[in-house]
Amino acid sequence: MKKLLAITAGIVGAAALAGSWQVPAYAAAKPVLTVGTAFAPLGLDPSISGNGRAGTMLMPAYEPLVRTRPDGTFVPALATKWVVSPDFKSVTFTLRANAKFSDGTPVTAQAVKNSINYWVNKKGPFSVNLASLTSIDVLGPTEVKLNFSTGNPDVLYNFNTYWLAGDIIGPAALKDVGSLRSTTDGAGAYVLDPAQTVSGKSYTYVPNKYYYDPAAIRFSKIIIDVIPDANAAIAAMKAGQVQFLVSDALTANANHTGLPKNLRIIADPVQWVGMFVLDRDGVINPALKHRRVRQALNYGIDRQLVSKALLGAYALPTDQIQGKGFMGHDDALEARYPYDPAKAKALLKAAGYPNGIPLTISYSHDTFNATLAQAFAGQYQKIGVKVTIDEKQNFGALIGPLIQKKLSAIIFTSNSDSPNIAKFQTLMPNGSLNPFHSTDPKLEALIAAASALPSDKAASAWQKVYARVVELGWFVPLAATDVVYFVSDKIVAHKPRHEVVIDLMDLKPAK
């Protein structure tokens, strides 16, 4: 690992000699923050990037319109005020007057309109979140109104750090969007320095001298290293080469004992992991069109055993796709699929597969996904399901065939929190994690009823939604898992909760 980082540092150093961004004097004496992550970015374009932990690369350079705090409240970022209409069909943002992009161009209402329109029309993985956007009105130099055909009680979430539509892209990049493969053009506290960056391996961000709040720039540089191997990542943490590691429940469970005193784990149960059965109409694998087959797959996984053995205290076995403590979770659903290999075999036989079925499970390469895929394969062997494991090199290599309807099932992690937003990825016919456009009339009716209610009155309606999802067997959840970070004592950080992931801009050097 040390050799790899040394080689990377050598390349970065050589590139830096060719010229790089100048660190402003007020930031030059501040410490450097080095972040480790398993996720190499698809690009640095917020319209097509992954989000959540996979969106870590965007956090230094792109300021969202609003930020979500751990308690679920919203606070200003590029927008200082906002008004959501009573029917949730419009939101009006008032922008701060002193915000600028990294090239010094002012952030205006027109720039916000152009960025959001680009984000939607790019048809990236989360553009479906704003599928009902009908128009954007520029009401003044710093006032912009977004209009929707249908209401969404949680519309503001779309414009925070997690969901990316509010990561406003500057006018220069919108004229040359290809530049966003290797550069950034945001109004965030930092800007990517290409001269100190090795694509796919290490990304260096330096302060944006035009950032509206210099006091919020707490580091002279932020370096994000891509380290897919969990053991190598932990070694880098222990060696002091990384101060903040974006990690997972498997790695936390394997390393929580015996950590040096200068390292700690920050974890929060805001996600779930399992197998997404994508091919619900049996296009690739005809067996998967049968509900009884999908239910057999749910009966055929010993959630208690696998979760405890691999994830320990950083996960809670679950039959549903909404974590405990989040809207729509129902304790009663946890009894739906007890581990029962005999019943799984009986369901397969009743569906016409007495000798079992073949099943290909795909995943994006990292230690966490690889281990879970092996666990599913081992469990399913006991019920006659013959698993072929299909490892993709990275997240980008997974997304391509997923969109092209070439994958029948994947190991994947999704978030809990707002069902009014999360539904667009997993449940809606055009969702980014519903490539075959699966539909169920009863489920759609339940979603429509729940979505029409204010968030404070919708809990029972969303429970009915998730109960239907469990019955359909569209997913084989394994566990509600913690989002996990290893943190050096040199860094101050808090639990994310309703932020879902920790925003790098919240990190501070320890005094």
Per-10-residue mean pLDDT for the chain, 511 residues long? 36 37 84 95 88 92 97 96 97 98 98 98 92 97 97 95 96 96 96 94 96 96 95 96 97 95 96 97 98 98 97 97 92 96 98 98 94 98 98 88 96 89 90 94 96 92 97 98 97 93 96 84
Write down the pLDDT at residue 27.
86
> Whose structure tokens read 């075959």?
436
- No. of helices (H) and no. of strands (E), the chain: 14, 19
Over its C-alpha atoms, the chain yields an Rg (Å, rounded) of 23
What number of other Cβ atoms are within 10 A of residue 28's Cβ? 12
Buried/exposed 252-282: b ≥16 CB within 10 Å, e otherwise: bbbbbeeeeeebebbbbbbbbbbbbbbbbee
Residue 48 CA to its chain's centroid (Å)? 12
Q: What architecture is the 2-243+490-509 domain classified under in CATH?
A: 3-Layer(aba) Sandwich (3.40)
Q: Which pLDDT tens digit goes with each residue over 34-44?
A: 999 998 887 89
Write down the pLDDT at residue 495.
94
Q: DSSP letters of 346-405? A: HHHHHTT-TT-EEEEEEEESSHHHHHHHHHHHHHHHTTTEEEEEEEESSHHHHHHHHHTT
Write down the pLDDT at residue 11.
32
Write down the pLDDT at residue 20.
59
Distances (CA, A) of 55 to 31, 38, 62, 246, 502: 23, 11, 11, 11, 11
**Distance from C-alpha of 150 to C-alpha of 39, rounded to nearest angstrom:** 34
Tokens coding 17: 């000699």
Query: Same topology for domains 2-243+490-509 and 271-481, yes or no?
Result: no
Residue type, 497: R
Q: What architecture is the 271-481 domain classified under in CATH?
A: Roll (3.10)
β-strand pairing of 79-84 with 74-76: unpaired
Domain boundaries, the chain: 2-243+490-509, 271-481
pTM: 0.90
Q: How many residues does the chain have?
A: 511
Write down the pLDDT at residue 395.
81
Please give the angle made by the CA atoms of 200, 205 and 207, to the nearest 5 degrees.
Answer: 170
Write down the pLDDT at residue 23.
82
Write down the pLDDT at residue 6.
36
**Distance from C-alpha of 168 to C-alpha of 159, rounded to nearest angstrom:** 9
